[in-house]
Structure 1
Amino acid sequence: MNFSIKKQETPLFIKLMYALGQMGWSLGAYGVANLLIYFYMPPQTGQEPVFMPYIYQGAVLGVATIIGLLSFSGRIFDAVTDPLVANWSDRAIVRFGRRRFFMAIGFLPFALFSALIFTPVTPGVSWLNVAWLFVCVLLLYFFMTIYVTPYTALISELGHTPNERLTISTFISVTFALGYGLGTQVFFFQHVLQTQYGLSAETAFKTVMSAFAILSALLMALPVIFVNEERYCISKPSYEPPLAAIRSVFGNRNFRYFAISDLMYWLALTFIQMGIAYYVTILLQLEAQYGSLVLMGMLGSSFVFYVPTNILARKWGKKRLMVFAFAAFTVIYLLMFFLGKYPLPPIMQIVTLGVLASIPIAIFSILPNAVVADIIESDAAVSGGHKAAIFFAVRSFMMKMGMSVANLLFPSLLLLGNSVQNPTGVRATAAAASVFCLLGWLLFSRYNEKEVLAAQA
Structure 2
Amino acid sequence: MKPVTKKIMWIFAMGQFGWSILTGIVINWLVYFYQPVEELINQGQPLFISQGTVVFGLFTIIGAITAFGRLFDAISDPLIASASDQSTHKLGRRVPFLRRFALPFALMTIFIFIPQSEGISMLNNISLFIKVIVFYLFMTLYCTPYTALIPELGRSQEDKINISTYISITFILGTSLAYSAPFIWDIFISNGIARVPAIQLTFAILATIAFILMMVPALFLKETDYIKAEPSKSGAFESLLKTFKNKHFRIFVLSDVLYWIALTIFQTGLPFFVVALLGLEEFMITVLFLTMTFVSFLFYLPVNLWAKKIGKKPLVLIAFLTFAFAFFIASISGLLPINAHVHGFIIAISAALPMAILGILPQAMVADIAQFESVNTGENREGMFFAARTFAFKVGQSLAILIFTTFATIGRDTGLGYRFSLITAIILSLIGAGVLIRYNEKHIIEKIEK
Classify the TM-score, shorter chain: over 0.9
Aligned partner of 1:155 in structure 2 is: 150
3-state SS, counterpart of residue 57 of structure 2: coil
Contact kept in structure 1, 2:322 and 2:354, CA below 8 Å:
yes
User: Is residue 114 of structure 1 aligned with residue 109 of structure 2?
Assistant: yes
Counterpart of 2:398, as a letter, is: S
> What is the 5 A alignment of 1:173-212?
173-195=168-190, 197-212=191-206
Contact kept in structure 2, 1:50 and 1:201, CA below 8 Å:
no
Deviation at 1:14, TM superposition (A): 1.8
Counterpart of 1:306, as a letter, is: Y
Aligned partner of 2:435 in structure 1 is: 443
Q: Which moved more, 1:328-337 or 1:379-388?
A: 328-337
Deviation at 1:135, TM superposition (A): 1.2
CA distance in structure 2 between the partners assigned to 1:393 and 1:343 by the alignment: 46
3-state SS, counterpart of residue 38 of structure 2: coil
The superposition leaves residues 158-209 of structure 1 with CA deviations (integer Å, 9 ceiling, x where unpaired) of 11111101101100000001100000001111111111x1111111111101
Contact kept in structure 1, 2:325 and 2:350, CA below 8 Å:
no
Aligned partner of 2:231 in structure 1 is: 237
> Normalising by structure 2, what TM-score?
0.98
The superposition leaves residues 75-102 of structure 1 with CA deviations (integer Å, 9 ceiling, x where unpaired) of 0000100011000000111101110111
Structure 1 unpaired stretches of 5+: 1-6
Counterpart of 2:345, as a letter, is: V
Q: Structure 1 residues 55 and 397 mapped into 2: Cα distance closer, same or farther (>3 Å)? A: same
Contact kept in structure 2, 1:261 and 1:443, CA below 8 Å:
yes
CA distance in structure 1 between the partners assigned to 2:443 and 2:45 by the alignment: 53
CA distance in structure 1 between the partners assigned to 2:251 and 2:392 by the alignment: 11
User: Is residue 45 of structure 1 aligned with residue 39 of structure 2?
Assistant: yes
Measured on the aligned residues, the alpha-carbon RMSD in Å equals 1.1
Say how many residue pairs are matched. Answer: 448
Deviation at 1:12, TM superposition (A): 2.3
Counterpart of 1:338, as a letter, is: I
Contact kept in structure 1, 2:161 and 2:361, CA below 8 Å:
yes
The superposition leaves residues 259-316 of structure 1 with CA deviations (integer Å, 9 ceiling, x where unpaired) of 1111111101111111111111111111111011101110111010001101111111
Aligned partner of 1:426 in structure 2 is: 418
Q: Structure 1 residues 150 and 243 mapped into 2: Cα distance closer, same or farther (>3 Å)? A: same
Structure 1 segments of 4+ aligned residues over 6 angstroms from their partners: none
CA distance in structure 2 between the partners assigned to 1:104 and 1:146 by the alignment: 10
Deviation at 1:49, TM superposition (A): 4.2
Deviation at 1:235, TM superposition (A): 2.5
CA distance in structure 2 between the partners assigned to 1:374 and 1:294 by the alignment: 34
Counterpart of 1:300, as a letter, is: F
Aligned partner of 1:84 in structure 2 is: 79
CA distance in structure 2 between the partners assigned to 1:353 and 1:42 by the alignment: 22
CA distance in structure 1 between the partners assigned to 2:18 and 2:40 by the alignment: 36
Counterpart of 1:27, as a letter, is: I
Contact kept in structure 2, 1:278 and 1:418, CA below 8 Å:
no
> Normalising by structure 1, what TM-score?
0.96
The superposition leaves residues 58-90 of structure 1 with CA deviations (integer Å, 9 ceiling, x where unpaired) of 221221111111111100000100011000000
Counterpart of 2:82, as a letter, is: N
Contact kept in structure 2, 1:281 and 1:288, CA below 8 Å:
yes
CA distance in structure 1 between the partners assigned to 2:91 and 2:128 by the alignment: 34
Which of 335, 344, 353 lines up with 2:347 in the alignment? 353
Aligned partner of 2:138 in structure 1 is: 143
Contact kept in structure 2, 1:155 and 1:168, CA below 8 Å:
yes
Deviation at 1:50, TM superposition (A): 5.1
3-state SS, counterpart of residue 35 of structure 1: helix
CA distance in structure 2 between the partners assigned to 1:182 and 1:222 by the alignment: 18
User: Is residue 315 of structure 1 aligned with residue 309 of structure 2?
Assistant: yes
CA distance in structure 1 between the partners assigned to 2:119 and 2:205 by the alignment: 25
